[in-house]
Amino acid sequence: MEFAYGGITIIMSKPIESEISLIRKRSGEMTAFDKNKISNAIYMALSASSTPNRDLAESLASRVVDKLLDQGFTRPSVEDIQDIVEFTLLENGNSDIAKSYIVYRHERRKIRNEKMKALNLKSLDAVSKKFDINCLRVLAARYLFRNNKNKIIETPTQMFERVAIQVGLADILYDSEFFDRDGKSVQDADEARSYLEKLDAFDYKFKIGPYYLNKWHFRSLINHYAHLADMNQMRKSFKDLLTLLASKQLDSRASKIREYFVLMTSQDFLPNSPTMMNAGGRLGQLSACFVLDMADNMEKIMKSTSDAAMIFKSGGGVGINYSDLRQEGDIVASTSGVASGPVSFMNIINTVTEVVKQGGKRRGANMGIMEIWHPDIEKFITNKTEPGVLENFNVSVGIWEDFWDVLVNREDDSYVLRNPRNKAPVKEISAHHLLDLIALSAWKSAEPGLIFFDQINKYNVFAKARQKPLRATNPCGEQSLYPYESCNLGSINLANLVKRRADGSFEFDWQQYEEVIRKTTRFLDNIIDVNTYPVSEIDRASRESRRIGLGVMGVADLLYKLKIPYNSEAGFELQSRLSEALTYYSMEESVALAKSRGPFPLCSKSEYAEGKIPVAGYYELPTSQHSCEWDALIAKIKRYGIRNVLTTTVAPTGTLSMIADCSNGMEPAFALVFEKRVTVGRFFYTNKIVEQALREAGLYTDEILAKIADNYGSLRGIPEIPIWMQNIFVTAMDIHWTDHLMAQSVWQRWIGNAIAKTINMPYDVTADDVKSAYLLAHEMGLKGITVYRDGSRHKQVLHMTSENAEKTFDVRPSGAVTAFVTKHIKSPYVLSQVNASLVSKTLDDELAASSQHSSSNTSLSTPSVPPEGMHEDKRCPACTNNLIFAEGCSTCIECGYSECTSG
């Protein structure tokens, strides 16, 4: 039997067999046949023709398999299968579906070619096939190793393997076969260190299961072993360990490496960027967040500058509190001169940042902090309102309770500024004037942010051990650290942790969430042991606290899948439960690690020993609103200790979320449709979940996408879009700025460290609204706040998704916000300020109010129109496309460039 189709003759020349066992891939490799891949491809074609039907796809796939068997194809090639799919669709009268499938097949071929070009490959590995082209472009630009000619020399699979190997090495040495928790085993640590001089000889010499150790993995194994041997915690000599490796007796430990590999390649979890850049590489530095000291001493200033350069070189970002430097004009006794002030030393760090690229990939990031009591505070606040100043810095003002008390509770608002050298009073200034100045500067330029040190230290269980409060954070403000501490971060993709109900809707998989939290807590703890720190003081301080920062991404996409509005009571309730579970299970796993590996070294000197925990929600919410057994956990901590001083942080995930193909952090989506203009016309990037909903509703057309792009990327107010979609698929600009604060506070109640979050505001807010946001943020218990008013930067990041974008809708605070204000705000001053911003006004009323308030001594209102010259786009330095501003940093949606270090 034979027939002609598509220019080829298909001949049945083989005996009919009962099943297809293998298929031949394009590379020539044979692999197991999977019928689901055929049904999925047909389903995609059905979706493209706006008629998604899973049952029909399954039925047609079965016919394809029957046809293949009829023709004797028990080991067909991929192309054979695709030809038969097209024939079957046409034969069964599905010409529209066949057309869509042919287009789909063409597009897949085009994407394959784009992927191979981006990755410099002749065929695609397993991860490359699975990951979206945009994910792969980010990996290629930022993470894949290159040779000295700048050519990519590893596949995405190899990249994730080298990370998983590095992390898995820690588990091997903590196995009871090798690890003596009680510290009674004496081994020669120097014997292990002697191998550091001959790393090249051991490059790819050993393997664990299928995973080969390169020389940099071997270096980490040596250093980890030597550190444990120094504490008498290794039961076997290093040579015995190598003998076991060489004889493949450690192959059973490959399961841990595989577990970490699957976590990342399933896009369920990703560690911070330095881990993926440097694991298994020469630098070997795996942490994103660092804080350095800046003492009022030239030798120490230069030491901090040198240490900052080493951190930038290794891929990290640095936070420095400059408040201990004497004010400009103060006397310098050693030289009989005058001090140049903290800002001048910030310029030194800024210059160092400019010339030292992070891991050879990008410039470093800085957080510059000055506390509100410093005599140079006014200069510091207004410094970045001019373009080109400290461009490698985020800047924040540190707030303490004494300032807040004067601001909120006292009629006399005089606040004393003090000399950092001797704390002597320098002058008095109006507390309201200072906050107004901060608000006005942030209104103009999105900086400075505020860091509430009183809130950060309220439940700081480590202050007793360090004998001082926390006074600095990492560059994006979400990770508080003591001088020379570091923290490695990682984020769980919540959008992946769902399961389908019988009716096709989604529900969150709480059991899988707990499992992922436990695995990733161990992952991040392991990094501390296999890390190569850039400075010895950082090595010591980081091991003393073993601080990790497990966070999330994909929150907005998760809510889209569950059809829950981000800024609704149900949305806030779910986010609260997600954050509580994150910290509870990570801390519980940290206790389990303490039982087997030991608590962090300073645990007994911390307030954990007294039964205290760094979780505001435990103390500030009634037990009836707790979802977890916190008292039982506290009892375990008192008995066994805890492995990590803090375990959770919600960090920026701009680049990571592109790799994971999900929304950023706990942010709402910036826009649902992004426009890209090229010479042949307009193209649109669409949120995949929204795209599917539009297709199912028969609304996915270029005309609708253009309308959404021209509507600030929002569905709001577009008559063709059903109201339920407009309510569910909300964007950052659909949400009132007070609800941004509410969402951040819901997470902050349960997160041990802090939250990277941008409080998005429309261009027509006033500086008084910004001030109200600060007041409300403090009342809600936030540890810091970054306000971004659309149009507020001199070099404007992408503030609209289309050149034709026009705001056609207004947003109002949710009932949750108004209920909070009514129930919880007791200060008459704060209440009056916040209520004034919550009242809905017309633009004319806003302008009139601004004019009236401008005569007040305690107000710095501003016109609610975008200032001329502030709509200049800021371009990505890597690919020249527009940037968006989210999570406190600028990010490119095209190539994944981010000004922040963690994501």
Which one of the listed residues 135, 289, 476, 487 is annotated catalytic?
476
Query: Cα–Cα–Cα angle for 573, 578, 581, nearest 5°?
Result: 125
The answer to whether the beta carbons of residues 401 and 454 sit under 8 Å apart is yes
β-strand pairing of 22-24 with 8-11: unpaired
Helix (H, G, I), strand (E, B) or coil at 475: coil
Helix (H, G, I), strand (E, B) or coil at 24: strand
Q: Is 428 a catalytic residue?
A: no
Which one of the listed residues 371, 478, 514, 580 is annotated catalytic?
478
Task: Tell me, rounded to whole angstroms, the distance of Cα 697 from its chain centroid.
Answer: 32
Question: Can you give 340-383 as a three-state secondary structure string?
Answer: CCHHHHHHHHHHHHHHCEECCCEECCEEEEEECCCCCHHHHHHH
The answer to whether the beta carbons of residues 647 and 590 sit under 8 Å apart is yes
Identity (one letter) of the amino acid at 293?
Answer: D
Rounded-to-integer distance, Cα 347 and Cα 534, Å: 22
β-strand pairing of 2-5 with 8-11: antiparallel
Q: Is 474 a catalytic residue?
A: yes
> Token pair of 553, please?
């991404």
Task: Tell me, rounded to whole angstroms, the distance of Cα 624 from its chain centroid.
Answer: 31
Q: Is 478 a catalytic residue?
A: yes
Q: Is the sign of the CA dihedral 414, 420, 425, 426 positive or negative?
A: negative
Length of the chain in residues, anyone? 903
Closest CA to 615 of 593, 636, 630: 630
Per DSSP, the chain holds a count of helices (H) and strands (E) of 34, 28
Q: Report how far apart, in Å, the C-alpha atoms of 33 and of each of 51, 265, 695 are.
A: 27, 22, 30
The answer to whether the beta carbons of residues 107 and 100 sit under 8 Å apart is no
Burial class of residue 257 in the structure, from the number of CB atoms within 10 Å of its CB (0-12 exposed, 13-18 middle, 19+ buried): buried
Helix (H, G, I), strand (E, B) or coil at 551: strand
End-to-end, the C-alpha distance of the chain in Å comes to 59
Question: Which phi and psi angles does 468 have, rounded to 5°?
Answer: -170, 160
The answer to whether the beta carbons of residues 315 and 274 sit under 8 Å apart is yes
Which one of the listed residues 272, 278, 474, 664 is annotated catalytic?
474
Task: Tell me, rounded to whole angstroms, the distance of Cα 61 from its chain centroid.
Answer: 39
Active site residues: 474, 476, 478
